[in-house]
Amino acid sequence: MKFSYLYKKIILVMLLVLIPLLLPGPKILDQKLVAESASDTSVVILNYHKVDDMKISLSVAPVDFEKQMAYLKEQGYTTITADQLLDNLENGTELPEKPILITFDDGYEDNYKNAYPVLKKYGFKATIFVITDFLDRYPNYITWAQAQELQQNGISIESHTVQHKSLTELNDEEVRSELINSKKAIDEHLGKDTRYIAYPTGTYNLHIAQMVKDAGYRAAFTVKYGNVDKASNIYALERVPIFHTENTFKSFYERLHYIPIFEHLGWIKS
């Protein structure tokens, strides 16, 4: 069993190295390799944090973010909401062709200043998971006024808990407080029913997932690497993290297109 797992990992790494060399360009990859794995509903959920020029892994430069969004537009992707995704997973509601969900964790101010104008430019929807105690408190996070503007213009504001504590390190009472009070804060400030949460640091377990459901959330998002499909747990939805790298667009392109191939081979979805 261990040998088989190691063998798959070695082949995966070899593919990552060889595919860009063997294929002439993006169109060939799109048509020949992704088509077969895209026959069933499979949705990419992009996961960003910061959009600025800090040159750290979590900070995608504004120029790179613009290039990525332009590519999605040129390739015919349609941004969807979390509600649309869940309606499809639970009820089979039809999704647009090439659906994609764009998410941001933490609620940094640069999401409003740098990402929001680009999203508006391309007519894209998105979701920002905010740490509710940080709004109107720390200058590098969005304000409730900014959150209200975003919510009114196609950018859904959802929960990333109250204080961004790893839920697996808290007792049940503390977990319940983080879940309920963050939802309550967003509901009261924005006049909405908050239905979605992203786990801080991506940590959770089945007990916490049940608590999330009991707190009134419709679904929860992890940092587990993969696309979402009918086999996904709606309280542990996969996402594709996008980072700043030496070649950020190449990394973005590979993550966007290669995951369906690896999932089709049964290599990255457990």
Q: Above 60 in pLDDT, residue 266? A: no
Q: Above 70 in pLDDT, residue 242? A: yes
Q: Which two tokens stand for residue 231?
A: 């086999």
Q: Phi/psi at 144 (nearest 5 deg)? A: -65, -35
126 touches 103 (CB < 8 A): yes
Reported as a single tens digit per residue, the pLDDT across 137-147 is: 999 999 999 99
Mean pLDDT of 176-182: 98
Architecture category of domain 33-260 in CATH: Alpha-Beta Barrel (3.20)
Q: Above 70 in pLDDT, residue 89? A: yes
Please, which pLDDT band fits residue 196 given cuts at 50, 70 and 90? very high
Residue 241 to residue 173: CA distance in whole angstroms: 30
Residue 106 to residue 266: CA distance in whole angstroms: 31
* Ranges of each domain in the chain: 33-260
Q: Above 60 in pLDDT, residue 219? A: yes
Q: Which segment of 23-37, 130-144, 191-205, 231-245 scores lowest on mean pLDDT?
A: 23-37
Q: Which segment of 55-59, 107-111, 113-117 scores lowest on mean pLDDT?
A: 55-59
Count of C-beta atoms within a 10 Å radius of residue 123: 10
Mean pLDDT of 172-178: 98
Residue 141 to residue 131: CA distance in whole angstroms: 9
| pLDDT confidence of residue 41 | 76
73: amino acid identity, one letter:
K
Q: Long-range contact list for 208-212, CB < 8 A, 24+ apart? A: 208/167, 208/168, 208/175, 209/233, 209/235, 209/236, 210/235, 211/172, 211/175, 211/176, 211/179, 212/179
| pLDDT confidence of residue 22 | 41
**Coil, strand or helix: which one is 45?**
strand
pTM for this one? Answer: 0.83
Instruction: Give the strand pairing for 99-106 and 78-79.
Output: parallel
Residue 28 to residue 148: CA distance in whole angstroms: 42
Q: Phi/psi at 219 (nearest 5 deg)? A: -165, 165
